[in-house]
Amino acid sequence: MTHIFPRVLDRELPEAVAADGAWITTADGHRFLDAAGGAIVVNVGHGERAVIDAMTAQLGRTQYVHGTMFTTAALERFADEMAPMLPLDDARIYPVSGGSEAVETALKLARAFHLARGQQSRFQVIARRSSYHGNTLGALDASGKEPLRKPYTPWLGRFLHAPAAYEYRCENPQHPQACGAWHASELERMIAQAPPNSVAAFIAEPVAGATLGAAVPCDDYWTAVVEVCRRHGVLVIADEVMTGVGRTGAWFAMDHWGVRPDIVTAGKGTTSGYVPFGFAAVSGAVFEAISTTGFVHGFTWSHNGLGAAAAGAVLRVLRERELVARAASLGERLRGELASALADTPIVGDVRGLGLMIGIEFVRDPGTKEPFARADRVAERVATAARDQGLLLYPSTGHVDGRDGDLIMLGPPFVLTDDDAATLVERTVAAVGSVA
């Protein structure tokens, strides 16, 4: 009997005792290839000495000092090194403990910006359908993933949701013609339907995460929707909690389209999972406005030196070993190999992604894209088959209509060796094949 309230209630979990590179070892001696980096988190791999040493050194200096009373060298150094990497001009970084906190902070920063400029009317947030921004109530309200929202419906409903940028099942009736323009006009229609000057922010993942399995928008999506936001005084929040810090083969995914948002969130890969950490960052212009009035916000664990030490070390490991370029090239290779090895597997509808963020969508009929019934539990069965052969995948369900829809995501550490990559493809194909 355990006294833990576990994350999963339908099976007993093995005990992890060691981890190295892309592999996790359990107490009973099994080794698992961590093809999803946990939940697309472990960018620099497990057991990275440079990160562990930086954290140990920081703990030898200070352990806890409050963010309203002190700064630390670890925090200042991390922010100095991260700010120029962000797709923001003159970035200011507000460190927090994870992705959901980063999103809550970003939403409040958007509101604070408008208040500071005397625009009390601006409070409305537009997010997207089938998105994921976190499980705290504000972040969950931004999230458009129905199965996650459903139990908490009475607490939600303040935010609006625009169409997802989901090329495989695009809502544009003319798809693939003029998709960027169609998304822009949908967003503009929503802004026009809201009370005048009420929309504060548009929040979206640059590449959709687990809820849509690494769905990459059409090429002109971001420039088109950002242009609408600019014209209507709406701040753009790029939720880079999953995509940030190299995951898509660029430092931040918005770099792929050369678009500069007003606010960026990050989490997961910032510390590669070595310690809970994340941040919301704003452009210098947003910071200047808010600094005239102050920002009513704060967490006990924000501005944490240990997290900053880990995040700073991760940044240097990525840079020194050119791992972001490795994420780009390895991602392209894995996507290509998976797509060709799965081309004749009848349940595979789409293999997609960017960098080392890869999604595989399962369908009953690739011709019509009809999903499997939820009761078939296809994504779960693929993940179980993979686990049985020592491969960890990240399943997701319910994206087609709030109930049906099966995906798995892969997001391995960037330090995956070529041999590991071959094992990943072989075991993924075998797991999918066994369920097919």
Ligand X SMILES: Cc1ncc(COP(=O)(O)O)c(C=O)c1O
Q: Does 239 bind ligand X (CB under 6 A)?
A: yes
Q: 351 with 340: CB under 8 angstroms?
A: no
Q: Which of 309, 282, 275, 314 is nearest to 76 (CA)?
A: 309
**Looking at 20-28, 97-105, 280-288, 395-403, which segment touches ligand X (CB under 6 A)?**
97-105
Rank residues 134 and 398 by Cβ distance to ligand X and give the closer one: 134
Q: Does 138 bind ligand X (CB under 6 A)?
A: no
**Looking at 4-12, 95-103, 408-416, 423-431, which segment touches ligand X (CB under 6 A)?**
95-103
Q: Does 103 bind ligand X (CB under 6 A)?
A: yes
Q: Does 191 bind ligand X (CB under 6 A)?
A: no
Rank residues 239 and 337 by Cβ distance to ligand X and give the closer one: 239
**Looking at 105-113, 183-191, 239-247, 365-373, which segment touches ligand X (CB under 6 A)?**
239-247
Cα–Cα–Cα angle for 415, 421, 423, nearest 5°? Answer: 130
Q: Does 290 bind ligand X (CB under 6 A)?
A: no
Q: Does 217 bind ligand X (CB under 6 A)?
A: no
Q: Does 133 bind ligand X (CB under 6 A)?
A: yes
**CA pseudo-torsion sign 296, 84, 412, 383:** positive
Q: Does 98 bind ligand X (CB under 6 A)?
A: yes
Q: Does 274 bind ligand X (CB under 6 A)?
A: no
The tokens describing 173, both together, are 């009736």
Tell which positions 17-76 bind ligand X, by CB under 6 A. Answer: 39
Q: Does 99 bind ligand X (CB under 6 A)?
A: yes
Q: Does 145 bind ligand X (CB under 6 A)?
A: no
Give me the amino acid identity at 43: N
In this structure, the number of other CB atoms found within 10 A of the CB of residue 405 comes to 25
- Binder to ligand X among 241, 311, 421, 435 (CB under 6 A)? 241
Q: Which of 231, 148, 121 is nearest to 185 (CA)?
A: 231
For ligand X, the nearest residue by Cβ is: 99
Report how far residue 268's alpha carbon sits from residue 272's, in angstroms, rounded to the nearest whole number: 6
Report how far residue 176's alpha carbon sits from residue 173's, in angstroms, rounded to the nearest whole number: 9
Shortest spacing between CB 101 and ligand X, in angstroms: 7
Rank residues 237 and 347 by Cβ distance to ligand X and give the closer one: 237
The tokens describing 65, both together, are 């000092």
**Looking at 2-10, 98-106, 225-233, 282-290, which segment touches ligand X (CB under 6 A)?**
98-106
Q: Does 134 bind ligand X (CB under 6 A)?
A: yes
193-231 burial string, b = 16+ CB within 10 Å, else e? eeeebebbbbbbbbbbbbbbbbbbbbeebbebbbebbee
- Binder to ligand X among 100, 271, 396, 428 (CB under 6 A)? 100
- Binder to ligand X among 236, 242, 400, 415 (CB under 6 A)? 242
Q: Phi and psi for 397 in degrees, rounded to 5?
A: -135, 165
Task: Classify residue 365 by its DSSP letter.
Answer: B
Report how far residue 306's alpha carbon sits from residue 260's, in angstroms, rounded to the nearest whole number: 29
Cα distances (Å, whole numbers) of residue 296 to 47, 87, 140, 233: 38, 25, 21, 22
Q: 37 with 43: CB under 8 angstroms?
A: yes
Q: Does 209 bind ligand X (CB under 6 A)?
A: yes
Q: Does 267 bind ligand X (CB under 6 A)?
A: yes
Shortest spacing between CB 195 and ligand X, in angstroms: 28
Shortest spacing between CB 29 and ligand X, in angstroms: 30
Specify the residue for token string 């071959």.
422
> Residues interacting with ligand X, by CB under 6 A?
39, 98-100, 103, 132-134, 205, 209, 239, 241-242, 267
